[in-house]
């Protein structure tokens, strides 16, 4: 069974790249402003976005870039794969630490003890997977790994096992990291190579390729 990458997206330094091409860029050094600008540019209509923590916003924008722009075959990706056969596999370095700090600050002052349920719900990194799954009604397998750095070997091996052992026919995979205004996202789509979707631009999933695309 051959697995191929049908599209990929990177977000880094106030810029969104789709398959290596710059599609959105901002002069703003403030991640909140940049994410808001990207949301408007992509013409998304999903009010819940504004309630998400920064990690979820980052993963959401990267995924929506893949699935909302025709060039990325996003619509076809969802249509040609059953939603219960699409898996989501993400990873990062900082877990949900950025949101954890915000929540900890809200409960550390005994005189102004104001714990926020809206913040607490994002104190797990896999919530970003939940936001993506809810938006697109994806009900397949999911996993979120925390590692020191981008681990292409882990992602490739785990993805291959899901396609072999689980009810997986396609996957949204990658790296979504946000910590103290430092952020980076790399999201890619993986599918089984079939005659109907083979294309010269599609490349076989492997560790070397992932490391090259991530840089």
69: pLDDT strictly greater than 80: no
pLDDT digits (tens, 9 = 90+) for 87-122: 999 999 999 999 889 888 888 877 767 777 888 888
Confidence of residue 71 (pLDDT cuts 50, 70, 90): low
* CATH code for the domain of 77: 3.40.47.10
pLDDT for the residue numbered 199: 65
Select from 91, 76, 83 the least CA-distant residue to 169.
Answer: 83
Which pairs count as long-range contacts for 29-38, CB under 8 Å and 24+ apart, including other chains? Answer: 30/181, 31/178, 31/181, 31/183, 35/61
**Interval 130-143 mean pLDDT:** 96
16: pLDDT strictly greater than 80: yes
Residue 20: burial class (beta carbons within 10 Å; 0-12, 13-18, 19+): exposed
Confidence of residue 65 (pLDDT cuts 50, 70, 90): very high
Q: Dihedrals φ, ψ of 171, to 5°? A: -150, 145
What's the total number of domains in the chain?
Answer: 1
Q: Whole-prediction pTM value? A: 0.93
47: containing domain: 3-214
Contacts of 85 (CB under 8 A, 6+ apart): 140, 167, 168, 169, 170
Pairing label, strands 3-12, 182-192 = antiparallel
The tokens describing 122, both together, are 């994002």
Contacts of 153 (CB under 8 A, 6+ apart): 207
């Amino acid at each position: 069974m051959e697995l191929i990458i049908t599209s990929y997206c990177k977000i880094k330094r106030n810029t969104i790249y789709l398959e290596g091409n710059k599609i959105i860029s901002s002069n703003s050094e403030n991640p909140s402003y940049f994410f808001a600008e990207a949301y408007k540019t992509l013409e998304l209509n999903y009010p819940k976005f504004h309630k998400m923590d920064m990690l979820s916003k980052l993963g959401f924008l990267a995924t929506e870039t893949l699935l909302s722009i025709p060039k990325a075959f996003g619509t076809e990706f969802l249509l040609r794969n059953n939603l219960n056969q699409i898996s989501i596999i993400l990873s990062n370095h900082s877990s949900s630490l950025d949101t954890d700090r915000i929540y900890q600050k809200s409960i550390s002052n005994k005189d102004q003890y104001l714990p926020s349920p809206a913040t607490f719900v994002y104190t797990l990194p896999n919530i970003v997977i939940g936001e993506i799954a809810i938006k697109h009604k994806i009900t397949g397998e999911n996993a979120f790994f925390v590692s020191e750095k981008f681990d292409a070997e882990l992602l490739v091996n785990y993805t291959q096992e899901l396609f072999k052992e689980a009810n997986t026919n396609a996957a949204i995979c990658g790296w979504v990291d946000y910590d103290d205004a430092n952020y980076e996202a790399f999201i890619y789509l993986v599918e089984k190579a079939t005659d109907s979707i083979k294309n010269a631009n599609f490349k076989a999933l492997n560790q070397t390729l992932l490391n090259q695309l991530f840089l």
